[in-house]
Amino acid sequence: MLSDYLTVKTIDKHEIVIEKSRFIAHIARATTEEEAIHFIQNIKKEHQQATHNCSAYLIGETDNIQKANDDGEPSGTAGVPMLEVLKKRELKDTVVVVTRYFGGIKLGAGGLIRAYGKSVSEGLNHIGVVQRKLHQIIHITVDYTLLGKMENELRNSIYPIKEMNYMEKVEIQMYVPIKETDAFSEWITDLSNAQSEIVFGEQEYLEKDVTR
């Protein structure tokens, strides 16, 4: 699993009008090619009367799955420019369909390339991009005598608290970036004078909004 990567914030759509043609960018996450194809098929079904439903997707840790489809537009004027926007934004696991309702004015090859690229770019700006960062959930168990000191330090640290469980001892679950687990463990050991139990749990991605 990647330690961090960028992807689209949510599933949504955004419409722009260029020379009387409507361009509707539908954008979503897709972690498998099957998910991407299913999304594309649903949009095509929803917009059966559209002139074109062009698509592109980028999937996998190394972008090993890449597809672009012009859906009747001149070759290379729609799907590829859409895919290039996803690449330029350094996004992963993202699928986009741009639905076009022809407005009666031909744009030419260059105009189409710009229009489809702009539709995706503005759609991403509207929907938003997030950074997904892989965190290790670390369970810290301490006596109640250390709770005040430990909780104060942890709440003032850069590491988010997942939850706290009050039992015979106190268990504090922390989110720690994968690359910082060793340094975090050493810090907790020093902070508790080696009086804490540290156990690594599951791994989980946390997300934060980014401006691209």
188 shares its domain with 105: no
pLDDT reported for residue 212: 58
Name the nearest CA neighbour of 23 among 150, 114, 144, 153: 114
Residue where a domain stops, chosen among 127, 157, 189: 127
137 shares its domain with 122: no
Residue where a domain stops, chosen among 127, 159, 185: 127
> What does the alpha-carbon distance between residue 47 and residue 40 come to, in Å, rounded to a whole number?
11
Helices 108-127 and 79-88, packing angle to 10 deg: 40
Helices (H), the chain: 33-46, 79-88, 108-127, 147-155, 181-191
73 shares its domain with 143: no
Mean pLDDT of all residues in the chain? 96
Here the CATH number for the domain that contains residue 202 is 3.30.70.240
* 12 C-beta neighbours (distance < 10 Å), count: 14
Name the nearest CA neighbour of 8 among 58, 66, 68: 58
114 shares its domain with 171: no
pLDDT reported for residue 1: 85
Here the CATH number for the domain that contains residue 20 is 3.30.230.30
Name the nearest CA neighbour of 13 among 123, 114, 89, 104: 123
The residue with tokens 């062009």 is 54
> What does the alpha-carbon distance between residue 212 and residue 210 come to, in Å, rounded to a whole number?
6
Residue where a domain stops, chosen among 127, 155, 185: 127
What is the average per-residue pLDDT within 60-75? 96
31 shares its domain with 8: yes
> What does the alpha-carbon distance between residue 56 and residue 105 come to, in Å, rounded to a whole number?
24
**167 contacts 147 by C-beta, under 8 angstroms:** no
180 shares its domain with 86: no
Phi, psi of 78 (to 5 degrees): -130, -70
Q: What is the pLDDT of residues 154-187, one digit of tens each?
A: 999 999 999 999 999 999 999 999 999 999 999 9
Residue 211 has pLDDT above 80, yes or no: no
Phi, psi of 115 (to 5 degrees): -65, -45
pLDDT reported for residue 160: 96
122 shares its domain with 32: yes
Structural domain boundaries enclosing 166: 131-210
What is the average per-residue pLDDT within 71-90? 97
92 shares its domain with 180: no
* 113 C-beta neighbours (distance < 10 Å), count: 20
Q: What is the pLDDT of residues 116-155, one digit of tens each?
A: 999 999 999 999 999 999 999 999 999 999 999 999 999 9
Residue 71 has pLDDT above 80, yes or no: yes
What is the average per-residue pLDDT within 26-46? 98
Strand partners, 42: none
Number of domains into which the chain is organized: 2
> What does the alpha-carbon distance between residue 164 and residue 151 come to, in Å, rounded to a whole number?
10
Percent composition of the chain: helix, strand, coil (DSSP 3-state, to 5): 35, 40, 25
Q: What is the pLDDT of residues 90-101, one digit of tens each?
A: 999 999 999 999
Written as six digits, the tokens of 112 are 């189409």
